[in-house]
Structure 1
Amino acid sequence: MTAAMDGAPDALELLAGRGRDLLVRIVAAACSDRTLPRMADDLAGLVVRSARALTFCDVYVLDEDERAMEWSGPPVPLGEGDVGWVAAHGRARSHADGRGAALPVHAGNATIAVLDVRSAGPCPPEDVALVAALADLFAPVLWSCRRLRTAQERESAAERFAERAVEAQEAERSRLSREIHDGIAQRLASLGFHLSAAERALPEHHPEALAQIMLSRTLCDLVAAETRAAIGGLRPPVLDDLGLPAALAALAREAGAPSAARVASVPPGAPGPAKPIDVTVTVTGELECALPDHVQTALYRIAQEAVGNSLRHARAGCVDLLLEHDRDRVRLTVRDDGDGFSIRDVFAPGRRPDTYGLRGMAERAELLGGRVAVTSRPGAGTKVEAVIPVRTGPGR
C-alpha cells in the first residue's frame, strides 16, 4: 500500500486534469459498498469511460493462494502471458501489437492486481498514464476487497465444513437408530412374546414363577419403551418421512402425554410434569426450497432440548412452538409459561452444571451460521429463539 500511497499525489494531479466529473466518478466507485468481482467490474468500466482511445479493460485480481490471477474468464497462472508476467514481475508491459498494455496494481511490495487495457489502434501514452494513475489510486480499495473476499471464502468454507460435520453426525445417529430398531428392539419384542407364552404355559400351582415372569414382562415393556425413546432421540423417523413440521407436531404430542418411561426417568424429588402440559405448534411462511436436512435436524434438536427443559425444570402448563420460514432464514421460537430463571445466575461461572443443554443449542445453531437467544426471568417463563440462515439457489 505504501507504493500506492506514494504515487497518489501524482495520480490525483493527473486525474484532476481530466475534469471534475472524472473525480466524482472515481470517488463514487471507490466509496461504494462493493465487493469482488463487482469492484473490479466498476474499475474496468471507469477506465474505459475515462480514457480517450481504450476500448476494453479487464481487471485481474490475485487469488487467495497467490498462484493465479482471477477475472471473469479462466484463471491466469503467474508468469503466463502478458498478465501473468506483469503479476510475477510487478512491472508494466506493452502488448506486442502496440494496442494496449498490462499494468500492475501494487500493495506494498506485492502485486495484487493487473489492469489489462486494449485500444483499436496504437495506445496513446496519456491513456496508459491514466490507467497507471487509477491503478495507484484504487490499490488500497482492491487490497481491502481482496482481503474481504478471502475472509468471506474462509467463512464459507468453515460453514460448509460445519454442515458436513453435522451431516456426518446425523448420518451416524441414523445408522445407530436403524441398528437399535432392527436389532435390540426386535429382540425385545421377541422376548416379550416368549414371556407371554411362558406365562400361559406355566401351571397355576407355581405362583412364585408366575410372579417372576410377570415382573420380567414389566421390565421388558419398560426397556422396550426406553428403546423406542432412544430411537426417537437419535433420529426420529417422522423427520425423514414427513419433514420438520410433522416432527415438531409429534414432539408436541409426546410432550403433552408423558410416557411411563419418561416419568420413571425423573429422579425422586425433581420437578416434573405434575399435570398434562399443553404444547402447540404453529408453522408460517414458505421457503423457495425445502429446508436442507441438516438444518431441519438442528432445529428439531433445539426444539427437543427446549421442550425437554420446559418439562424437566419449568413446571410449565403451556409451551408454544412457532416455526417461521423466510426467504433466506428460518426462525424457531419455543415459549413456555413456567417458572423462568435468572439468565445471569444460570450462566454464572461455577453456579450450575445444567447449562450444557442451553450451550448445546447455541453451539448447534452457530455451527450453521445462526444464533440462539434465551430470554427468561423468574416467574415470567422462558423464550428460546433460534435463527438459522438458509442458502438458496444453485450455490446451496
Structure 2
Amino acid sequence: MEIKKIVLRKMKMEFKVPFEVSFARMTDKHFIAVEVHSRDHVGYGDCSAFEHPYYNEETTTTAWHIMQDFLIPLLFKQEGIARPEEVHSLFAHIRRNNMAKAALDCAIWDLYAKEQGISVAKALGGTKDKIETGVSIGIQGSPDDLVRVVAKHREEGYRRVKVKIKPGKDIEYLRAIRREFGDVMLMADANSAYTLKDIDLFKAMDDLDLIMIEQPLSNDDIVDHAKLQAVLKTRICLDESIHSVDDARHAIELGSARTINIKVARVGGLTAARNIHNLCQEHGIPVWCGGMLDTGIARAHNIAVSSLPNYKFPGDVPASDRYWKVDLTTPAVVIDKEAMIRVPETPGIGFEPIPELLEKYTYEKKEFLR
C-alpha cells in the first residue's frame, strides 16, 4: 500500500439520551474520524478518546497532536506498507497514546482489506459469520428506573445486559434486575470505582449469578484484582488495566482475572487486539469486545475483530440506533431476534461513512499530503 493522503476530522455527535458511568455523565461524544487514502481506496478509522481524560490519559486534543506530529510523519517516511501489522511495529517506540495509534492502525487495516478485495474480518483470520451482542446501560436514578430501561432493551432483543455501577448504586440495582429478569445474562461494570475495602460487597454479588464483574478496582491495577479474584466465585474481567500483550500476560500469570475485555481503541488497534486475543486463547482465558460509546466506524472494526474464535461473550457492539438517532455509516447495524449481528463479507469494514454526515458533524478538518 502506498499512502497518498491522510485526513483527520474532529467531530461531535449528541447521544439520544445521556450516558452516565461512575466518573462522568455524557450528553455528546467528541471523536476523531480518520481517512487514509491510497490511489484507489480509502480506509476509515475512529479515534475513540473522549474530550476529557476520564477513561484514560488521552483526549481528542492530545490524540490529534500525536497523530499530526508523530504518527502520520512516521507513516509518510515509509516507502510503502505491505501488511497492516507493520503499523503496530512502526508505532511501538511511541509510548502509550494507544487510541491515537488505533485510529490509524484500523484505517490501514480497512484500506488493506479493500485493496485485497476481502473483509477486515477475513484479513484478521475471523471464523464467525455472526456475533452475539449485548447492551451497556449507564447509571440510573433508582433500581426501578433501571428495571424499566432493561425491559426496553430486552424488548429490542438484547439478551446480555451490562450495568454500570458505583458506590451507593450497585448491589440493590443488580438485585432488582435479577428479581425481575431471572434468566438475563447480567454483568456489572464498576469502571474502577471500588477498593479492596469493598470485598464483602463483591462477595455478596456472588449470589447474583453475574457472568462477570468488570474492572472493580483501580484502573492501573492487576495485583489487588488477583487478591479479589481469589476469594470470589464470580469471574473478574479486566478492562482499563490492559493496554498491551504484556499487561495481559502479567494478569494471566497473577490470576487477576478470568476474562479480559479487549477494546480495540484501548490497546492500540486491530493488530494489538488480535495479539492479546491469541495470548488469551493459548491460556484458556476467554475474551470479549468492549466499546467506547462508538459511532459506526469504530463499531465496524469491533464487529470484525469479534469474529475471531476466542471472543466468547456477547460484546458491547450494539445496533446503530443504540446511541444515535442517525449513525455515521451505512448500512445500519441491526440485531436479529437472537441478538446477533451479521459479520460483513464485503471488502473492508463493510460499512461506509455517509459523506453528508461526515461533513455535518465535523468541526475541524486537516489534510496531510505525502
TM-score bucket of the superposed structures, by smaller chain: under 0.3
User: TM-score, normalization: structure 2?
Assistant: 0.19
User: TM-score, normalization: structure 1?
Assistant: 0.18
More helix by share: 1
In our comparison, the structure showing a higher alpha carbon Rg is: 1
